[in-house]
Amino acid sequence: MTSKNTKFSGYKELLIELGKREIKARYKQSILGYAWVILVPLINLIVLSIVFSFFIRVPTGDIPYPIFLFTALVPWMFTTNSISSATKSLLSNKSLITKIKIPREVFPLSSIMAKLVDFALYLVILFVFILIFGVKLHLTVLFFPLIFIFHLMLVIGVSFILSALNVFYRDVENLLEVALAAWMYLTPVLYPPELVPDKFRQIFNINPLTPIINSYRNVVLYGVAPPWQSFAYSAAFSVVIFILGYLYYRKRSRYFADVA
């Protein structure tokens, strides 16, 4: 038992240290430093709010568009930043992979952990904006952690698969940005799902992130529980992709040192 506890403790400490290293390295030579964590989402929010409030009007009912947008933009930025960073994590740490025998899972997980810090800061900004715009918070916000658990499982599962693939096929990293951009437009981040034409609705709902984004908006803005039927699909998909991603990553990890 003591040996297992020591191993777990060492694994946890390594994960935390790698996460800290990534956070520090990201803004090490930046003039504004950690301020970029706040500035990037704010700039995105301002630009997109101007475009979709004045040039391309998107109906959002009684909810101001900036709040409607930011409620989805926060989880979306966590998704895209985590997957993008985790996909590159093995190649970024190839000196450690080839020289030291450590659990390979720590590399994508530490990248995602670093993005969790950003996500927490984004949430603070979101709830400050909600107060400023006078949007009422509801008790349904208590569902937020449940939604996030399955959201996180989806992100980790996808990250395991892509980070492992990227070691063997470097094109994955190059294609990823295009794929993530396409994924955003296929997810109701910028617009409500009601705007999707009926003939495309079934295809649209295949996207596992759609019910997750809708659930975040429901519980934070509208005081409504997650749409359980579609959310159950996303939850099941997230669990499956998490398990398959982990198994695939473990299977391929034995060859990382040879290829990286």
Q: Are 90 and 107 in contact (CB under 8 A)?
A: yes
Structure tokens, 1: 């038992």
Q: Tell me, what amino acid is at 15?
A: L
Structure tokens, 220: 């934070």
Tell which wins on pLDDT, 186 or 33: 186
**pLDDT for res 212:** 97
Q: Are 77 and 41 in contact (CB under 8 A)?
A: yes
Angle 208-210-211 from CA coordinates, rounded to 5°: 85
Structure tokens, 71: 């409620």
Range in 6-10, 58-62, 90-94, 244-248 with the lowest mean pLDDT: 6-10
Q: Is the pLDDT of residue 1 over 50?
A: no
Q: Are 223 and 244 in contact (CB under 8 A)?
A: no
Structure tokens, 180: 């993530």
The alpha carbon of 181 is separated from its chain's Cα centroid by a whole number of angstroms, namely 13
Instruction: Please give the DSSP secondary-structure letter assigned to residue 137.
Output: P
Q: Is the pLDDT of residue 33 over 70?
A: no
Average pLDDT, the chain: 84
Q: Are 83 and 166 in contact (CB under 8 A)?
A: no
pLDDT by residue (tens digit) across 110-136?
Answer: 899 989 988 998 898 899 889 988 888
**pLDDT for res 7:** 47
Instruction: Dihedral sign for Cα 182, 26, 74, 120, please.
Output: positive
Structure tokens, 172: 């994955």
Q: Is the pLDDT of residue 39 over 70?
A: yes
Per-residue pLDDT, averaged over 60-75, amounts to 89
pLDDT by residue (tens digit) across 189-243?
Answer: 999 988 888 888 888 889 999 999 999 999 999 999 999 999 999 999 999 999 9
Q: Tell me, what amino acid is at 71?
A: T
* First CA to last CA distance, the chain: 34
Q: Residues near 12 by Cβ (< 8 Å), separated by ≥ 6?
A: none
Q: Are 156 and 239 in contact (CB under 8 A)?
A: no
Domain locations in the chain as residue ranges:
2-259
Q: Is the pLDDT of residue 102 over 60?
A: yes
pLDDT by residue (tens digit) across 134-146?
Answer: 888 899 999 999 9
Q: Residues near 121 by Cβ (< 8 Å), separated by ≥ 6?
A: 37, 38
Under the banding of pLDDT at 50, 70 and 90, the label for residue 98 is low
Give the separation between CA 181 and CA 176, rounded to whole angstroms: 9
**pLDDT for res 194:** 87
Tell which wins on pLDDT, 43 or 19: 43
